Amino acid sequence: MSSMRYTNDHEWVRVEGDTAIVGISDYAQEQLGDVVFVELPDVGKSFAQNDDAAVVESVKAASEIYAPISGEILAVNDSLEDAPETLNSDPTGDGWMFKISIADAGEIDALMDEAAYKKFVEGLE
């Protein structure tokens, strides 16, 4: 999955054409523990990079999910409302959170690649 990019806040981005799919990293879901609720952004809403876009609540804490890039929400993963635990079981697959248009491709280029993110996480442990 080398096509993924990561933020310092543990969101991941996977580019498909002019759309970016966004979710939380495996490290983030491990830190959160069992996810019990997900609040997703509204389709059509626009965000600047690093704006609060969603909320994930777990048995341990509530955590803001930030927009890793600027753009407009094109779709959300509605299945997370009924099965928020998907964020724990498959955070980089079926646990994707939302799709956002890419307003500035340079924002994606500035995010960490998988190797840099792995090194970043190792520094946290």
Instruction: Tell which CATH classification among 2.40.50.100, 3.20.20.70, 2.60.40.650, 1.20.120.1200 matches the domain 4-122.
Output: 2.40.50.100
Q: How far is CA 90 from CA 7, 38, 70, 103, 125, in A?
A: 18, 15, 25, 27, 22
Would you list the domain boundaries of the chain?
Answer: 4-122
The pLDDT value recorded for residue 47 is: 98
pLDDT in tens, 49-74: 999 999 999 998 899 999 999 999 99
What pTM does this model have?
Answer: 0.94
